Amino acid sequence: MNKGASASFPPAMIVDHRAECRPAPLVRQESAIIHTRIAVMRPACQNEVVMAFAIDPAVVEADVRRALSEDLGDGDLSAALVPESRRLSANIIARETLVLCGSPWAEACFRALDPHIRLDWRVAEGETAGPEAVLVEISGSARAILSAERSALNFLQTLSGTATVSAHYAALASGSRTRILDTRKTLPGLRQAQKYAVRVGGCENHRMGLYDAVLIKENHIAAAGSIGAAVAAARAGGDYLVEVEVESLDEFTQACDAGADRVMLDEFSESDLREAVGMGRPVELEVSGSVDPERLQSLLSLGVDFISVGALTKHVRASDLSLRVLD
The DSSP string of 239-271 is S--EEEEESSHHHHHHHHHHT-SEEEEES--HH
Q: What is the pTM of this model?
A: 0.84
Enumerate domains of the chain plus CATH numbers. Answer: 41-171+316-325 (3.90.1170.20), 204-308 (3.20.20.70)
Residue pair 134/95 in contact by the 8 Å Cβ criterion: no
Helix (H, G, I), strand (E, B) or coil at 28: coil
**Which residues have CB under 8 Å from 310's CB, separation 6+?**
182, 183, 185, 288, 291
Q: What is the Cα–Cα distance from 130 to 97, expressed in whole angstroms? A: 4
**In this model, does residue 181 exceed pLDDT 80?**
yes
State pLDDT tens for residues 8-60.
Answer: 544 333 333 223 333 334 443 332 322 222 222 223 344 444 445 778 999 99
**In this model, does residue 177 exceed pLDDT 50?**
yes
Q: Cα torsion at 99, 103, 109, 111 (round to 10°)?
A: 150
**In this model, does residue 267 exceed pLDDT 60?**
yes
In this structure, the number of other CB atoms found within 10 A of the CB of residue 45 comes to 11
Q: What is the Cα–Cα distance from 292 to 295, expressed in whole angstroms? A: 5
- Which pLDDT belongs to residue 163? 98
**In this model, does residue 160 exceed pLDDT 50?**
yes
State pLDDT tens for residues 1-10.
Answer: 445 444 654 4
41 phi, psi to nearest 5 deg: -75, 155
> By C-alpha distance, which of 154, 122, 170 is closest to 316?
154
Average pLDDT over residues 213-217: 96
Average pLDDT over residues 150-160: 98
Among the residue ranges 20-34, 63-77, 244-258, 304-318, the one predicted with the least confidence is 20-34
Q: What is the Cα–Cα distance from 226 to 244, expressed in whole angstroms? A: 11
Residue pair 94/148 in contact by the 8 Å Cβ criterion: no
- Which pLDDT belongs to residue 318? 97
Residue pair 8/115 in contact by the 8 Å Cβ criterion: yes
Q: What is the Cα–Cα distance from 116 to 106, expressed in whole angstroms? A: 15
Average pLDDT over residues 300-311: 96
- Which pLDDT belongs to residue 167? 97
**In this model, does residue 132 exceed pLDDT 90?**
yes
C-alpha distances in Å from residue 139, one per residue of 5, 159, 224: 21, 23, 59
The neighbouring-strand residues paired with 166 are none
Provide the strand spans (E) within the chain: 87-94, 98-99, 118-121, 128-129, 134-141, 179-181, 214-216, 242-246, 262-266, 284-288, 306-308, 321-325
What is the overall mean pLDDT for the chain? 87
Share of the chain above pLDDT 90, in %: 81
8-state DSSP, 210 = T
- Which pLDDT belongs to residue 220? 96
8-state DSSP, 24 = P
**In this model, does residue 159 exceed pLDDT 50?**
yes
Residues forming the active site: 150, 185, 217, 245, 266
- Which pLDDT belongs to residue 289? 93
- Which pLDDT belongs to residue 77? 96
8-state DSSP, 274 = H
- Which pLDDT belongs to residue 54? 79
Average pLDDT over residues 293-321: 95
Residue pair 88/143 in contact by the 8 Å Cβ criterion: no
State pLDDT tens for residues 268-291.
Answer: 999 999 999 999 999 999 999 999
Residue 225 φ/ψ region, left for φ over 0, alpha for ψ in the -120 to 50 degree band, beta for the rest: left
> By C-alpha distance, which of 303, 311, 269 is closest to 286?
303
Q: What is the Cα–Cα distance from 23 to 39, expressed in whole angstroms? A: 21
